[in-house]
């Protein structure tokens, strides 16, 4: 077994490890959409696209103070 064959195996296993890590990270992001406080920040992702004056806000804010 020469160095080129070892490099080929190392490249293959590194590529597989990185691909599996990427898919695991993507799954982790979509499984845990809400953070620890329960806020779903995915609702805020369309704010740049829906930036008209007539669009409804993502989170309504009242003028009254909460007691």
pLDDT, the chain, mean:
81
Confidence (pLDDT) at 67: 54
Alpha helices in the chain (DSSP H): 3-31
Confidence band for 65, pLDDT divided at 50, 70 and 90: low
- Per residue in 15-40, pLDDT (tens digit) is 999 999 999 998 887 777 766 677 76
Confidence (pLDDT) at 35: 67
Confidence (pLDDT) at 6: 96
Residue 30 buriedness (CB in 10 A; 0-12 / 13-18 / 19+) = exposed
- Residue count (the chain): 67
pTM beyond 0.85: the answer is: no
């Amino acid at each position: 077994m020469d160095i080129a064959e070892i490099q080929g195996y190392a490249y293959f296993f590194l590529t597989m490890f990185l691909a599996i890590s990427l898919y695991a990270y993507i799954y982790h992001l979509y499984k845990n959409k809400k953070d620890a406080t329960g806020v779903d920040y995915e609702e805020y992702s369309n704010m740049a696209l829906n930036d008209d004056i007539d669009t409804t806000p993502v989170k309504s804010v009242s003028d009254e103070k909460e007691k």
